[in-house]
A and B are shown apart, each in its own frame.
Chain A
């Protein structure tokens, strides 16, 4: 996030797109409600009629995957009416004229045809967002999990820059991270092309720096993303896979395919807390420690690096994650002999400028928000206060593209996936928790009352859902959360593995698969 969570309470307008905030980030949802009660305007754009929508000033349900069109439509209206922030654009951005040219085309009428959102609503959204400064834009996986994910993000940034909402308190562009340490995993270089702190592996200076620090010549060519690794497993280029604390078998699109390629591996190593679907295929299983059993830091969605403290010794023979990795690395001939996580942290901060000023002692309980480059730097609640990291903020002229797969005669329904409030990710951690499990014990698929009526489906009845990639059976939940022609299903439940159906087509740059859109058909199961 460019900004901090607490700041939202003082926003003039909050625009939530592609985030079911009350269920997936409930504490942020609380802040949004407080902001609203204090007088902020709230705009919610989501294909489903989510809980947060009940509190919004304007709610629109745009067609799945039509985010770029919707955002361009808003910007069209803003520019037409001269509501944009000329001064900000002039002083701090570049590329505006290219964007302007593209926007020309996105008249409310055209956008209505693509998104299903009425012209009047598009105009109202534009006016509300532009007219209530500072406006914070919040998004989650509903923006990123598309073949056009990067375009979607760029459009969000365009909108924020257009109205001078970047580099201001209570504004900004704020992706809500889905997992506790996504931010940290990326910051730490858990990516194929960068070292910690986003220093490119291909950059000679960076590569030399890390090669020297680690006492080994490091590869300069960027590696494979997960999506490409899956391909590599299929064609035999990848022979071994080490999976630390993840369960891709349930979380990946077209999981039937993944199932198949995992079996082709010569060696699969899995480290986890439980016997997950992925772990069941492993050759070796490492028993890792949970959050309560080890010291370490986590970086949350607002870039705040915080300490988690060990409360109990690892249960059974489980070992702290860092310890396991040290042992494995040493056994492979590359010695790692750290005595505690703090030592690792100190090595990391010495190589990562944005974390450079952090120490365990300084973090305390509250943590620090990066960038925090020096020992007396107080951390950074919001980014780009005076300048953009790459100099001027760049507008990207983005055109709308359809999702990879659209409903047709054979597969007439849109299917989208996501989370529900008491579960998390592939359910490994939440389904073993009695209180969370008792809220929702099985998977389900949301069907609109109209569609359920047409197909004579009853609530709770098992139905077959088919896509071009596979089929599953799942109980029906009849609800007006979804409109006609739209289905939703959470992906936490292994008995109803919805990712058998999802489309592995991915964004060409971010390589994020299109979990949020695919085409399916429903079949009543004969009694």
Chain B
């Protein structure tokens, strides 16, 4: 029997309510408001209260896929990465780095966002990087 309450942040709207993720025996079991958090002081909206549900949903896709002849095939990470790198490199070589566009995410962490723009600018060599938050 293992039980953890892990403080985290609600991933939905820009309020960023403090939550406690309830983990029982390594499984995400529930969400509670963090009562002492300055943003929400122990309150959440319906989305925050149910945030564990989107994580444990059966609809999650939990492995990388590669499309071949119109159909997805499950692959190992190394293969997915290698194929992507190869295709991107070929396109950059032929059409230049500005033929690639990158969309970062307003839902991912700062660290991921930092890396994505660094990847675009340094690895690909383009400033064609934007996010969808205008939408």
Direct A–B contact present (CB less than 8 angstroms): yes
Of the candidates B9, B12, B60, B102, the one whose C-beta lies within 8 Å of that of A273 is: B60
Contact B128 A439 (CB under 8 A): no
Taking the closest CB of chain A, its distance from the CB of B90, in whole angstroms, is 9
Within 8 A of B (CB), among A339-361: 341, 344-345, 347-348
Taking the closest CB of chain A, its distance from the CB of B95, in whole angstroms, is 5
**How far apart are the CA atoms of A313 and B72 in the complex, in Å?**
25
**How far apart are the CA atoms of A435 and B103 in the complex, in Å?**
30
Residues of A within 8 A of B28 (CB): 292, 311-312
**How far apart are the CA atoms of A189 and B125 in the complex, in Å?**
15
Considering the complex, give the chain A residue whose CB is closest to the CB of B62: A316
Contact A436 B53 (CB under 8 A): yes
**How far apart are the CA atoms of A279 and B72 in the complex, in Å?**
11
Residues of A within 8 A of B62 (CB): 287, 315-318
Taking the closest CB of chain A, its distance from the CB of B92, in whole angstroms, is 8
Residue-wise, chain B 71-103 has the 8 Å CB interface mask toward A (1 for contact) of: 010000100111111011101000101111111
Within 8 A of B (CB), among A416-443: 421-422, 424, 429-430, 432-436, 439
Contact A25 B15 (CB under 8 A): yes
Contact A181 B109 (CB under 8 A): yes
Contact A28 B15 (CB under 8 A): yes
Residues of A within 8 A of B14 (CB): 25, 176-180, 182-183, 300-301
Q: Which of B45, B111, B127, B133 has the most CB of A within 10 A?
A: B111
Of the candidates A187, A238, A327, A429, the one whose C-beta lies within 8 Å of that of B12 is: A429
**How far apart are the CA atoms of A238 and B39 in the complex, in Å?**
41
**How far apart are the CA atoms of A336 and B116 in the complex, in Å?**
11
Residue-wise, chain A 482-523 has the 8 Å CB interface mask toward B (1 for contact) of: 000000000000000000000000000011110100000000
Contact A246 B119 (CB under 8 A): no
**How far apart are the CA atoms of A191 and B113 in the complex, in Å?**
10
Taking the closest CB of chain B, its distance from the CB of A371, in whole angstroms, is 15
Considering the complex, give the chain A residue whose CB is closest to the CB of B109: A296
Residues of B within 8 A of A188 (CB): 104, 110, 113-114, 117
A218-B121, A510-B134 known; A180+B111 contact, CB < 8 A? no
Of the candidates A187, A221, A291, A294, the one whose C-beta lies within 8 Å of that of B127 is: A221
Contact A430 B103 (CB under 8 A): no
Residue-wise, chain A 167-210 has the 8 Å CB interface mask toward B (1 for contact) of: 00000000011111111111111111101100001000000001
**How far apart are the CA atoms of A6 and B38 in the complex, in Å?**
8
Task: Check A321 for interface membership: any CB of B closer than 8 A.
Answer: yes
Residues of A within 8 A of B106 (CB): 178-182, 184-185, 190, 246
Of the candidates B21, B37, B117, the one whose C-beta lies within 8 Å of that of A365 is: B37
Residues of B within 8 A of A332 (CB): 85, 88-89, 123-124
Contact A184 B11 (CB under 8 A): no
Contact B105 A245 (CB under 8 A): yes
Of the candidates B17, B95, B109, the one whose C-beta lies within 8 Å of that of A294 is: B109
**How far apart are the CA atoms of A345 and B111 in the complex, in Å?**
6
Residues of A within 8 A of B109 (CB): 181, 184, 294-298, 308, 321-322, 341
Residues of A within 8 A of B119 (CB): 325, 328-329, 334, 336
Of the candidates B6, B47, B80, B121, the one whose C-beta lies within 8 Å of that of A284 is: B80
Residues of B within 8 A of A272 (CB): 61
Contact A244 B112 (CB under 8 A): yes
Within 8 A of B (CB), among A69-125: none
Residue-wise, chain A 282-316 has the 8 Å CB interface mask toward B (1 for contact) of: 11111110111111111111101111111111011
Total A-B Cβ pairs within 8 A: 433
Contact A185 B46 (CB under 8 A): no
Task: Check A472 for interface membership: any CB of B closer than 8 A.
Answer: no
Task: Check A389 for interface membership: any CB of B closer than 8 A.
Answer: no
Considering the complex, give the chain A residue whose CB is closest to the CB of B63: A317
Residues of A within 8 A of B49 (CB): 435
Residues of B within 8 A of A239 (CB): 91, 95, 99-100
Considering the complex, give the chain B residue whose CB is closest to the CB of A191: B130
Task: Check A153 for interface membership: any CB of B closer than 8 A.
Answer: no
Contact A327 B77 (CB under 8 A): yes
A267-B88, A292-B52, A321-B109 known; A310+B6 contact, CB < 8 A? yes
**How far apart are the CA atoms of A28 and B84 in the complex, in Å?**
42
Contact A291 B11 (CB under 8 A): yes
Residues of A within 8 A of B104 (CB): 185, 188, 190, 244-245
**How far apart are the CA atoms of A293 and B114 in the complex, in Å?**
19
Taking the closest CB of chain B, its distance from the CB of A216, in whole angstroms, is 5
Contact B101 A348 (CB under 8 A): no
Task: Check A275 for interface membership: any CB of B closer than 8 A.
Answer: yes
Contact A242 B26 (CB under 8 A): no
Of the candidates B11, B58, B133, the one whose C-beta lies within 8 Å of that of A177 is: B133
Task: Check A331 for interface membership: any CB of B closer than 8 A.
Answer: yes
Residue-wise, chain A 215-240 has the 8 Å CB interface mask toward B (1 for contact) of: 11011011111110100110001111
Of the candidates B18, B37, B45, B101, the one whose C-beta lies within 8 Å of that of A242 is: B101
Within 8 A of A (CB), among B54-73: 54-67, 72
**How far apart are the CA atoms of A515 and B95 in the complex, in Å?**
33
Of the candidates B8, B43, B66, B99, the one whose C-beta lies within 8 Å of that of A238 is: B99
Task: Check A319 for interface membership: any CB of B closer than 8 A.
Answer: yes
Q: List 24 A-B contacts (CB under 8 A).
A: A26-B45, A177-B13, A190-B129, A218-B121, A229-B101, A239-B95, A245-B105, A248-B132, A248-B135, A266-B91, A274-B61, A283-B87, A284-B80, A290-B60, A295-B109, A306-B18, A308-B8, A325-B116, A325-B119, A332-B88, A332-B123, A332-B124, A365-B34, A515-B135
Q: A318-B60, A328-B85 are in contact. List 4 more A-B contacts (CB 8 A).
A: A6-B38, A224-B130, A291-B51, A311-B4
